Structure 1
Amino acid sequence: MPAPTPPRSQPKRRRPLALPAVCPCEGIAPEPLLASLVSLTADVASRRAGDASAFPVLRRGTRQAVRLAGLLLAFLEEIQDAAATLSHSAVVGLTELHVAMQKMRFLLTDCARRGGRLWVLVNAELIASELRLCLGSVAAAMDVLPTSIVGASVESGELGRLVSDQAWRAVVRPDAGDKLAVRSIRSIMDTFKMGVAPEADDVMRVLRRIRVESWFVAEEIAFLDGELSARFDAGDENSSEVVLLNNLMAFLVYCRVVLFDHIDSKQSDATAARPATCPEWIRPEALQCPITLELMTDPVTVSTGQTYDRASITRWMKAGCRTCPVTGEKLRTADLVPNAALYIVAQFSTGSTEERRKATSEARKLSKHSVFYRALFVEANAVPWLLCLLSCMDASVQDNAVASLLNLSKHPGGRTALVEAGGIGLVVDIVNVGAKAETQQNAVAILFYLSSNAEYAEEIGRFPEAIPTLVRLIKEGAHRGRKNAMVSLYGLLQSPSNHAKAVAAGAVVVLAGLLSSDRDGDLACDTVSLLATRLAQLVERKALNLVVVGSSPTVGAG
């Protein structure tokens, strides 16, 4: 039996500013070598070096490199017809050109990399030095090409000399704007060490230089975090580069959390968000690690009260940072406290159906009797995620989500979050089409807790189907459903605007019918309370003669 084939390892990604050029093999034929060199040079020459948005750092140096690549491409195309007659010395020169152009392509790719612009800026001197070496290699390779190749035609001779002269004369160094931006960054990081917030104008000057707007900061942070991870994996966590990477990440986190949040808050009302729809309820940033901006898989809270993904904050601390990345406060302790509420909420968004079933069940249990956990779930932005789960086809997930929302609606912040997320209409829908009778009854109870606020009661009444649904449930529902619907209607009728809607929905007639049909008497008590305290004037208008013997007005607790 043949031995099993060992699994093929995935090729490692090239690290930024690494130049792993491959030298063509020694016995390569001139034709494929020249064809490959033409293709490689054409790729370099096609870069948009004149576009500052594409190459915000080393603008002059990248323009020189791309312009030289264009001249070299024209020269190579001139000598392509003579490829079959190239001598060994010509192949050596073309091989050197090939290696130099590979490195130049790597450097230009890194300079234009989205997300790595701040890292390119602080390494501008190193990149300029590497570009100078590439151009020097091009010049040296052109000089060793045989005259029989360079002078094969008048055009090739002129182009060859022009490429050599341009390559030798090229002066590649960081632009004055690059040097100023690097000095500003180092000054800003020094102010951070002293516990002083930098000037916003200084920070914006740096970001404008590298063309980073608020929506690009996340890419920059993700890039730096990837570089940190690569160095930790390689065992270089104590290197000076790791310290620099952490400092740059702290700078960008400050920009995203403090600076850009402040700028975005100044947007005019004309660009304000429209009323929430389902996708806009979700604030994924509540589940994202402030360091990596990725969804947290193991959220933990530090001594300042901020929550991070355990892996990210652990790397941060291992690098010697003892401050909170968001607030800048000194961490009093290195203890990391698991944030159970945020972990459960993360399962709402990323988990499978089974994981969501377990997560919503846990949320239901924890928030049922604990005021503390209700506050934690509200703070973790659980309400919008739970609202999205109301449309889940799994009956258990839907039932647990509604029960969790009922528990959170007992918290003032939970009621506010539900209304602001536009969830009233969804709750009313669940009363009608909930997968289980218990689900529908809990949805009615949510309306009761919301109706304790007069503004929310009026808002619920604006939904055309809200009050008719409650009246129908009072008439046709099970005992518990009737009780919940009655106390919810009681709450809604504290808003005068809902009185006429209740009468139009047949509430008076339905309630009057309960007075004669209720055998136990508890529903009759609730009916008297509703009619006496909320609908008295409307009852008089209807000229109904209601007489109840031996009952007193009470409101069911649901």
Structure 2
Amino acid sequence: MIQKFDRADRRILSFPAVRPGESVEPAILVDSLIALSRAICGFQPGLFATQRRNAREAVRQVRVLLEFFEDVRERGPALAAGSVSAVLLCFSELHTAFQKIRFLLEDCSCEGARVWILMRSRFVAAKFRVLVRAIGTALDVLPLDSIDAGREVKELVELVAKQAMRANFELDRRDEYTMRQVQSMLDYFEKGIEPDRGVIGRVLEYLEIRSWSDCHKEIKFLEGEINLECSEGNEREAPLLSSLMAFMSYCRVVLFEVLDHRSTQQADVAQHLETLSSLNPEDFRCPISLELMTDPVTVSTGQTYDRSSIQRWLKAGNITCPKTGERLTSTELVPNSALRKLIKQFCADNGISLANSGRISSDIARTIVPGSMVAAEAMKKLSRFLARRLVFGTTEQKSKAAYEIRLLAKSNIFNRTCLIEAGTVFPLLNLLSSPDAATQENAIAALLKLSKHTSGKRVIIDGGGLSPILSVLRKGSSLEARQIAAATMFYLSSVKGYRKLIGETPDAIPALVDLLRNGKPCGKQNAVVTIFGLLLHPGNQCRVIAAGTIPLLANILASSEKDELIVDSLAVLASLAENADGTAAILQTPVLPLIIRFLRSSASKTGKEYSVSILLSICSNGGRDVIEVLARDSSVTASLYSLLTDGTSHASKKARSLLKILLNSNERNRSRLS
């Protein structure tokens, strides 16, 4: 059987050709050769920004052979006795070479890979030469006399064999010149010098990169290649890929003023991903070990590390913060219980064992430092450019600058650092009052990305950013802007002191509750998660209850089909139920049967644990009547017994305590009856 490959099955410039089996029928092999030949001949010259002559020559030779194979199939692949194995061997060699040529042509015409193919021009030209000569070698030993085909066709095959052996697939002079120009510009960036924009423009025109979205595709491709290299443990090409990605980011931001239609569609996708639809692991990694933190602690600089990692750092005699380089004023390690709860919830919901958390992708953590010196210098210049645009640009330029920051800071910690240090936070805060909905949304989304950085949180709060962000949360131009503002509040609330500040700010919690009432599912999700973060400050519990949160959470449990939203709503109720006033408010809603149902049927272990926590708090704060109601429901005790063996250690402990309360209640009732 002859296997076909899809573009997604392989890395670019890799050639996983599959050699046909020895038992393949001649007719099947010829059919497959025809299909491959037609696929190769379908590559038109206009598809190639580089390697045009080499691609054209390879296609030309395969086109001649396509005529030969079609003639063989039309006559029937009758082979002379004694030559079958020799012909099949040659056809198999041709089949393998054709597969690789098709892969090479796919790569040379791959959307988004133009600058990378340009920088690998020497390798690509050499590969064309090797593959075409492999065709010549196979044809040279092919016993044409034993194959039933027309004389003229056979003569063409002989001609192709000679040409293939002599073909000189060299690096195109224009490709080589452009490649050297790109390398020269990378050298300029490394020295802290901005290249001439006219030269950049000519390079992009040669590569047919003519719009914002064309440039964006190059960046996304390079980013994907970097992630693949690092995931495979082979980072040999990563510095060059990082340099090119930074160069193309500079081009996208500086040279292309207009966000074309295709990029607008990409923005819609990015917007969806910027909501807290689920907990994000990027903030759960220790900056030292790059693994999920099992015991997060905060040092005097405000940075959080896994306890074992920072202890090893301190025992080695270090007196500075590993991430910021600041001198530690104290070696005290303060437990970050809020983050620990979030990590625990994330792991439970995603079936992750903390013992094996190192297997989770560390793409984000890897970006703490730049991928190359070129990337570092280019990003610094780009950050200053964007900061100037935010202040002095036109309305359209300011909106685009905010959108560029939104993209650059999305998954790169070093980029966030540069953008914050360049002073982008204050002008972004000013843009939150823009009457233009797109500008406001881009600004709040950019601030969301920067708020994930410790310095970003501090600059936002110190710069009076809480008030304009709250204004967007309350009356933003769109529901999308409001839900992004809620997500930003969530990241700000991850700092212990800011939870108190946000809770005490008038209208902050009511605005979140209003989004919980009127928002879309993602907006409700963001509001619930942010409220959960604020509840980690005990003083906020009464404010959350007074804002009417509990009836809205009860409605969510009754009507929502979104598992993440249900689990997070249970988490908030579990926190509120620890308060006597919270228990009283919960009992005033028809939520108790729903909690029992989730305890009995939820697939989420975390959901079950929160359900048990709520019931345990209700029994502790709600009095004997509530206990007796639960004790009479046999499904409750059955679910609790199940958790003793199948639940997490915390869930099992809570289930045991609740069972004891319910069993004691039943025992008292039996004693009274007797």
Aligned counterpart, 1:372:
465
Change (3 A) 1:313 1:216: farther
Q: Distance in 1 between matches of 2:281 and 2:474?
A: 16
Equivalent positions of 1:349-364 (< 5 A) are none
CA deviation digits over 1:425-468, x for unaligned, max 9? xxxxxxxxxxxxxxxxxxxxxxxxxxxxxxxxxxxxxxxxxxxx
SS at match of 1:98: helix
1:119-162 deviation per Cα after TM superposition (whole angstroms, max 9, x unaligned): 11101110111111110011111111113146743122222112
8 Å Cα contact 1:74/1:159 also seen in 2: no
**Counterpart position of 2:70:** 77
Q: Assess if the C-alpha contact under 8 Å between 1:389 and 1:398 holds in 2.
A: no
1:315 Cα deviation after fit: 3.0
| Structure 1: distance between partners of 2:95 and 2:216 | 36
Indicate if the aligned counterparts of 1:150 and 1:160 stay in contact, CA closer than 8 A: no
CA shift, 1:381, in A, is 13
Q: Which residue of 2 aligns with 1:47?
A: 43
What CA distance in whole angstroms lies between the structure 2 residues aligned with 1:288 and 1:258? 25
In structure 2, do the counterparts of structure 1 residues 139 and 387 end up closer, same or farther at CA, with 3 Å as the change threshold? closer
Following TM superposition, by how much is the alpha carbon of 1:85 offset from its aligned partner in structure 2, in angstroms? 2.2
Correspondent of 1:33 among 29, 32, 52: 29
Per the alignment, residue 327 of structure 1 pairs with 380
RMSD over equivalenced CA pairs, Å: 4.8
The 2-side partners of 1:401 and 1:151 are apart by 73
**2:68/2:149 contact within 8 Å kept:** no
Aligned to 1:550: none
Instruction: Report how far residue 255 of structure 1 moved.
Output: 0.5
> What does 1:225-244 align with in structure 2 at a 5 Å threshold?
225-237=223-235, 239=236, 241-244=237-240
CA distance in 2, matches of 1:11, 1:29: 27
Whether 1:67 and 2:119 are equivalent positions in the alignment is: no
Stretches of structure 1 that go unaligned for 5 or more consecutive residues are: 1-9, 266-270, 274-278, 290-295, 304-309, 350-366, 403-558
Query: In the alignment, what sits opposite 1:397?
Result: 515
CA offset digits 1:399-432 (Å, max 9, x no partner) = 6779xxxxxxxxxxxxxxxxxxxxxxxxxxxxxx
1:57 aligns with 2:50: yes
> The residue matched to 2:476 in structure 1 has which SS?
helix
Q: Which residue of 1 aligns with 2:501?
A: none
How many residues of Structure 1 are paired with residues of Structure 2 in the alignment?
343
- Which has the larger helix fraction? 2
Counterpart-to-counterpart distance in 2, 1:385 and 1:11: 39
- Counterpart Cα distance in 1 of 2:473 and 2:206: 36
Q: Does structure 2 retain, via aligned residues, the 8 Å contact 1:323–1:329?
A: no
Is the 8 Å Cα contact of residues 31 and 84 (structure 1) preserved in structure 2? Answer: no
Matched, 1:314 2:366: yes
Which of 217, 220, 225 is matched with 2:218 structurally? 220
Distance 2:383 2:193 in 1: 13
Larger radius of gyration: 1
Q: Are residue 258 (structure 1) and residue 351 (structure 2) matched? A: no
Deviation at 1:389, TM superposition (A): 6.3
Deviation of 1:56 (Å): 0.8
Deviations 1:186-219 (A, max 9, x none): 0000100111111011111111111112221111
Shift of 1:374: 2.7
Cα distance in 1 for residues equivalent to 2:381 and 2:474: 24
> Does 2:173 correspond to 1:142?
no
User: Structure 2: which amino acid aligns with 1:243?
Assistant: P
**Cα distance change of structure 1 residues 34 and 254 upon mapping to structure 2, 3 Å threshold:** same
Describe the shift of the 1:197–1:383 C-alpha distance in structure 2 as closer, same or farther (beyond 3 A): farther
Match for 2:109: what amino acid? A
Amino acid at match of 1:71: V
Quote the offset at 1:170 in angstroms: 2.2
* Deviation of 1:91 (Å): 0.7
1:90-139 superposed Cα distances (whole Å, 9 cap, x missing partner):
11110110000000000000001001111111011101111111100111
Whether the aligned pair in 1 keeps the contact of 2:473 and 2:482 (CA below 8 Å) is no
Residue 43 (structure 1) shift: 0.9
Using the TM superposition, give the Cα deviation of residue 180 of structure 1 relative to its aligned residue in structure 2, in angstroms. Answer: 1.0
Are the aligned partners of 2:379 and 2:415 in contact in 1 as well (CA < 8 Å)?
A: no
3-state DSSP of counterpart to 2:256: helix
C-alpha contact (below 8 Å) 2:215/2:248 kept by paired residues: yes
1:288/1:59 CA distance change after superposition, 3 Å: farther
**What residue number does 2:616 align with?**
none
Determine if the alignment matches structure 1 residue 205 to structure 2 residue 202: yes
Amino acid aligned to 2:371: A
Q: Provide the secondary structure at the position in 2 that maps to 1:24.
A: coil
Q: Structure 1: how far apart are the matches of 2:474 and 2:283?
A: 14
Tell me, yes or no, if the aligned pair for 1:246 and 1:316 is still in contact at 8 Å: no
374-383 vs 88-97, greater mean Cα deviation: 374-383
Q: Could you tell me the TM-score, scaled by structure 2's length?
A: 0.44
Cα distance in structure 1, aligned partners of 2:473 and 2:270: 10
Q: Separation in 1 of the partners of 2:416 and 2:60?
A: 54
- Give the match's secondary structure for 2:203: helix
Amino acid in the other structure paired with 1:31: A
Post-superposition offset of 1:372: 2.6
Q: Distance in 1 between matches of 2:368 and 2:115?
A: 19
Partner of 1:547: none
- Judged with a 3 Å threshold, the aligned counterparts in structure 2 of structure 1 residues 211 and 25 are, in CA distance, closer, same or farther, namely same
Question: Residue 195 of structure 1 corresponds to which residue in structure 2?
Answer: 192
How far apart, CA to CA, are the structure 2 residues paired with 1:249 and 1:287? 24
Instruction: Tell me, in whole angstroms, the C-alpha distance in 2 between the residues paired with 1:147 and 1:380.
Output: 77
After superposition, the C-alpha distances for 1:325-369 in whole angstroms (9 at most, x for unaligned) are 5333899x9797899999xx89x99xxxxxxxxxxxxxxxxx999
Q: 2:126 aligns with which of 117, 126, 129?
A: 129
Aligned amino acid, residue 153 of structure 2:
S
For the residue of structure 2 that corresponds to 1:327, the secondary structure is: helix
Q: 1:496-551: CA deviations, max 9, x gaps?
A: xxxxxxxxxxxxxxxxxxxxxxxxxxxxxxxxxxxxxxxxxxxxxxxxxxxxxxxx
Are the counterparts in 1 of residues 240 and 372 from structure 2 also a CA contact under 8 Å? no
Q: Is the 8 A contact 1:323 1:330 kept in 2?
A: no
Work out whether residues 257 and 326 of structure 1, in 8 Å CA contact, stay in contact via their aligned partners in 2.
Answer: no
Whether 1:114 aligns to 2:130 is no
Correspondence list, 1:152-163, <5 A: 152-163=149-160
- CA-CA distance at 1:177 after TM superposition: 1.4
TM-score of the superposed pair, with normalisation by structure 1: 0.52
The residue aligned with 2:491 is none
Query: 2:215 & 2:471 partners in 1: Cα distance?
Result: 28
Cα distance in 1, alignment partners of residues 415 and 177 from structure 2: 40
1:283-341 residue CA offsets vs partner (Å, 9 max, x unmatched) = 9889999xxxxxx99699999xxxxxx9457336263557265333899x979789999
Q: Please show how residues 259-278 of structure 1 align to structure 2 within 5 Å.
A: 259-261=255-257, 264=258
CA distance in 1, matches of 2:113, 2:474: 31
TM-fit CA distance, 1:379? 9.9
Q: Distance in 2 between matches of 1:201 and 1:36?
A: 48
Check the 8 A contact 1:104/1:131 in 2, yes or no: yes
Q: Distance in 2 between the 1:381 and 1:125 partners?
A: 57
Letter of the 1:168 counterpart: M
Counterpart of 1:417 in structure 2 is none
CA distance in 1, matches of 2:377, 2:138: 53
1:11–1:174 Cα change, 3 Å: closer
The Cα shift of 1:168 comes to: 2.2
